[in-house]
């Protein structure tokens, strides 16, 4: 077990390092941030002075080593757009809003997907199963930005039931939370359904029915408990998907989170903020995968590295 955890931990560090190289390179492909920061009438001397001040005149490999050295101490540099404020300060300021939205979206996903998946498996090829397949098809085919705009148009514009943007109360969470969590509803529901169908054909379930245990208890207690390994494994992907997916959702609903911050940073070529956000998201995603791997190994003792 210790060897398994150690190898997974080293793989996680390697993945995070590779991600730092990728985001460092891609951020600089967007162009020179000074072209956005400086006015049209700026002289070459102005460009040269700011390039030296921000360290942009150095070779890329030197810039990367400076970046990674500071990043190891939690310093991602100062924002180029919001001068005088550090990139990580801006990210941590916006992070609670993103976590709030992602948490609500995850709650929506579980509350909706779990019972639908169980009922679809219990009534295979029936009405519940057909309805669940339609939900899964729509959930995985509708683009999140289109769904968000439609929900905004219906519930905020036409019916005037919910606010269309901002973050001022629990009502502001509903539309972006459903938009962000809808795709995960489809995926979790399908995972729960397939896992339930596999477990329901096992011998211990047949034995429980022979003993006279009620069908509802067999399904909701015995089957669901043993069918939870596959959805649990997918939890890491859900967490990462909710965070990265928040970029589109926060932009549509003007939700003041990290997603909206990184969109503004990309537009203004704010390297420091983009790097801080991507590294943070990647770190959370990799950490979730690592924790799920460890939990999965404890749930299934057969998992070992040969």
Helix (H) or strand (E) holding 283: helix 271-299
Both tokens of residue 75? 């310093």
Whether the full predicted model's pTM is greater than 0.85, yes or no, is: no
Which portions of the chain are predicted below pLDDT 70?
Answer: 1, 30-32, 34-42, 54, 205-207, 210, 215, 221-222, 229-230, 232-233, 235-236, 239-240, 244-245, 296-306
For the structural domain made of 97-268+284-292, what CATH number should be given? 1.10.3720.10
What pLDDT sits at residue 221? 67
Q: What is the pLDDT of residues 80-107, one digit of tens each?
A: 777 778 888 888 888 888 888 888 888 8
Instruction: Report domain extents, the chain.
Output: 97-268+284-292
Instruction: Give the bridge partners for 86, in sequence order.
Output: 78
Burial class (CB in 10 A: 0-12, 13-18, 19+), 146: exposed
For residue 291, give the nearest of 242, 240, 241, 243 by alpha carbon: 240
- DSSP secondary-structure letter at 86? B
């Amino acid at each position: 077990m210790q060897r398994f955890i150690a190898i997974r931990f080293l793989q996680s560090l390697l993945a995070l390092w590779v991600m730092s190289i990728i985001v460092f390179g891609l951020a600089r492909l967007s162009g020179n941030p000074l072209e956005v920061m400086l006015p049209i009438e700026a002289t070459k001397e102005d460009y040269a002075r700011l390039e030296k001040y921000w360290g942009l005149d150095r070779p890329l490999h030197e810039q990367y080593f400076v970046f990674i050295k500071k990043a190891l101490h939690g310093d991602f540099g100062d924002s180029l757009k919001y001068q005088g404020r550090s990139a990580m300060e801006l990210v941590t300021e916006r992070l609670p809003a993103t976590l709030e939205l992602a948490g609500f979206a995850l709650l929506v996903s579980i509350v909706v997907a779990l019972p639908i998946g169980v009922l679809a498996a219990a009534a295979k090829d029936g009405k519940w199963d057909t309805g669940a397949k339609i939900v899964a098809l729509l959930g995985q085919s509708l683009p999140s930005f289109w769904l968000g705009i439609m929900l905004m148009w219906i519930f905020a514009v036409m019916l005037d039931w919910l606010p269309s943007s901002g973050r001022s109360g629990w009502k502001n969470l509903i539309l972006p939370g459903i938009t962000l969590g809808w795709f995960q509803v489809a995926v979790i529901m399908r995972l729960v359904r397939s896992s339930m169908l596999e477990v329901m054909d096992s011998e211990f379930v047949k034995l429980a029915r022979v003993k006279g245990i009620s069908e509802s208890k067999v399904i909701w207690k015995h089957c669901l408990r043993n069918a939870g390994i596959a959805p649990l494994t997918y939890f890491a992907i859900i967490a990462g998907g909710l965070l990265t997916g928040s970029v589109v959702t926060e932009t549509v609903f003007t939700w003041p989170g990290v997603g909206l911050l990184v969109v503004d940073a990309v537009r203004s070529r704010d390297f420091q903020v983009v790097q801080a956000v991507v590294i943070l998201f990647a770190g959370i995603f990799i950490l979730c995968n690592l924790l799920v791997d460890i939990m999965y190994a404890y749930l299934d003792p057969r998992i070992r590295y040969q």
